[in-house]
Amino acid sequence: MNMPGSRVTLVGFGTILLIALPMLLPASLLNASIAMLIAVLFACAFNLLAGQAGLLSFGHAAYLGIGAFATVQAMNALGGSGLLPTPLLPLIGAAAGLVSGSVVGWFATRRTGVYFAMVTLALAELLHSLAPHLKGYFGGEAGLSTMRNPAWGFTFADSVQVYYLTLAWVLVSMALLYFFTLTPTGRLALGLRENAHRLRFLGYDTHRLSVLVFAVSTMFSGIAGALQAINMEGANYVVFEGSVSAAVVLNTYIGGATTFLGPALGAAVMTFFGYAVSDLTRSWLLYQGLLFAAVMLFMPSGLSGLVGAVSSNLRTHGLRSMLPTMVLYATAGMAITAGTVFLIELAQRLFAQDYRALAVPGNAGGLPLVSLFGAEWVPASALTWLVPAALIAIGAGSARAASRAWARIKDRTSRPGPNATADAIRAEETPT
């Protein structure tokens, strides 16, 4: 799993960009960037278990939450002075995640496949149900609050200092996760995913190996929870909800579970998507689900796989040959997306209770006009529904044309040249 020079350059450029980000973004977007970094670390920790070892956990939010609550308790300890200086508090989350993951992993990894997934889901839901009643540790339904203490000459009173603290821990954690995948244990984790029976036949203790990988994954999930607690200055039992576990699964597979940085890409994109779209529409969760379905249907290897495939084809066929096909695919994607968004937003407004309360007889079938995308649309008019239908039809036609163009490119590449037969004959006649 050696990293090619181009990827090293890309990672270095991305790191420099992240370091310079506070100078480029306003405070509101900087808070979103902190959440993005935490989501990136959580997704990569989860992918160590799901993508590397093939153990799909549906309850990984439990260890994010355990790390968060352990960190809040540590910050409030000793009369509020804290057990550790603020920059070292993620160590508390790491320890909590490691201990809880070792205990739970010992039992959960005795099963594999869907049974393992159901066990992790059941344990996470059990913790989510108990947390509001365990007020001594989880603070009940109100949760726990705390304050960041100054340390090492930093006040941690503004988002910039919290951002750099989060960035430092995320970069260190990502580096450790990557180097773990290069160790013999990390290599054996791939064997768990591919053929655990063969590993067992070769004499390896697959159960102990599974527990180790599970514990390492939960340890880094605990670090992500600790960073979230430091950023939010508190923790609430909602961190144990199934939606948090579902989100990390979506982020990982949208980005691509087969590459190390794929989950990071997915988490960054989906976190930005949530912040950008949730303020624009009530249906943003529906769009998130549709995006996940589209990726699984048409890009099973995720966004990172798409980027890799495009770059590989560009090297093989050249930009001049690929550009028309890429333009057609881009046109298809934008047209289908625009038509789908139009239909969803129109339907969302038509079925809204406030809209139906305004319906009066005698006005275009009793339905008032709908304000959408800076224009007024008549729901009873065929033209209103013709616009999204036309966009989707244009997108489908562009996709079909792009597929044909791509098939022609592959056919030209695979077709032997005019002198291929003669060259093959001469090669056979040449004495060795």
Q: Are 325 and 283 members of one domain?
A: no
Tell me: do 103 and 140 sit in the same domain: yes
Q: Is the pLDDT of residue 421 over 60?
A: no
192 and 338 fall within a common domain: no
Dihedral-angle region of residue 146 (phi above 0 means left; psi in -120 to 50 means alpha; beta otherwise): beta
Whether residues 51 and 195 fall in one domain: yes
* CA terminus-to-terminus distance, the chain: 38
Residue 385: which residues within 8 A CB-CB, separation 6 or more? Answer: none
Q: Residue 390 pLDDT > 90, yes or no?
A: yes
For the cut 60, the answer to whether the pLDDT of residue 318 exceeds it is: yes
3-state secondary structure of 165: helix
> pLDDT category, 77, cuts 50, 70, 90?
confident
> How many whole angstroms separate alpha carbon 84 and alpha carbon 230?
13
pLDDT of residue 205: 86
Q: Do residue 271 and residue 323 come from a single domain?
A: no
Alpha-carbon distance 66 to 248, whole Å? 16
| Res 349: pLDDT | 81
Confidence of residue 64 (pLDDT cuts 50, 70, 90): very high
Q: Which two tokens stand for residue 11?
A: 């990672």
Does 183 lie in the same domain as 243? yes
Indicate the residue among 262, 294, 326 that finishes a domain: 294
Which residues, in sequence order, are CB contacts of 207 under 8 Å at separation 6+?
A: 109, 110
Q: Both tokens of residue 198? A: 């063969």
pTM: 0.85
- 322 and 290 inside one domain: no
Q: Which has the closest alpha carbon to 384: 343, 340, 356?
A: 343
Does residue 301 form part of some domain?
Answer: no
- Cβ atoms of 302 and 264 within 8 Å: the answer is no
Q: Are residues 183 and 239 in the same domain?
A: yes
Q: Is residue 421 part of a domain?
A: no
Answer yes or no: is 431 within a domain.
no
**In a shared domain, residues 274 and 358:** no
Say if residue 231 is in the same domain as residue 323: no
- Is 429 within the bounds of a domain? no
Residue range of the domain that includes 366: 318-416
pLDDT at position 288, please? 86
Whether 211 and 105 have beta carbons less than 8 Å apart is answered as yes
> Residue 363 is which amino acid?
N
Residue 422 clears pLDDT 80, i.e. is over it: no
* Inside any domain, residue 305: no
Query: How is 267-336 classified by DSSP, letter by letter?
Result: HHHHHHHHHHHTTT-TTHHHHHHHHHHHHHHH-TTHHHHHHHHHHHHHHHH-HHHHHHHHHHHHHHHHHH
Match 């529906």 to its residue by tokens.
286
Count: domains in the chain: 2
Tell me, yes or no, whether 261 and 391 share the same domain: no
Place of tokens 């509020």: 80
Q: What is the CATH number of the domain that holds 262?
A: 1.10.3470
For residue 297, the model assigns a pLDDT of 86
Residue 12 phi, psi (nearest 5): -65, -40
Cβ neighbours around 9 below 10 Å, total? 10
Is residue 303 situated within a structural domain?
Answer: no
What is the arithmetic mean of pLDDT over 297-311?
84
DSSP per-residue codes, 21-50: GGGTS-HHHHHHHHHHHHHHHHHHHHHIII
One domain, residues 287 and 323: no
125 assigned to some structural domain: yes
Name, of 6-10, 156-160, 315-319, 363-367, the range with top average pLDDT. Answer: 156-160
Yes or no: say if 238 and 287 are a contact pair by the CB < 8 Å rule: no
CA distances for 399 relative to 29, 61, 254, 300, 326, angstroms: 35, 38, 21, 18, 10
Final residue of a domain: which of 224, 259, 294? 294
Q: Which are the contacts of 94, defined by CB distance < 8 A and separation ≥ 6?
A: 67, 219, 220, 222, 223, 226
For residues 106 and 211, is the Cβ–Cβ distance under 8 A?
yes
211 contacts: CB under 8 Å, gap ≥ 6: 102, 105, 106, 109
* 117 within a domain of the structure (yes/no): yes
Of 294, 328, 363, the last residue of a domain is 294
pLDDT of residue 261: 87
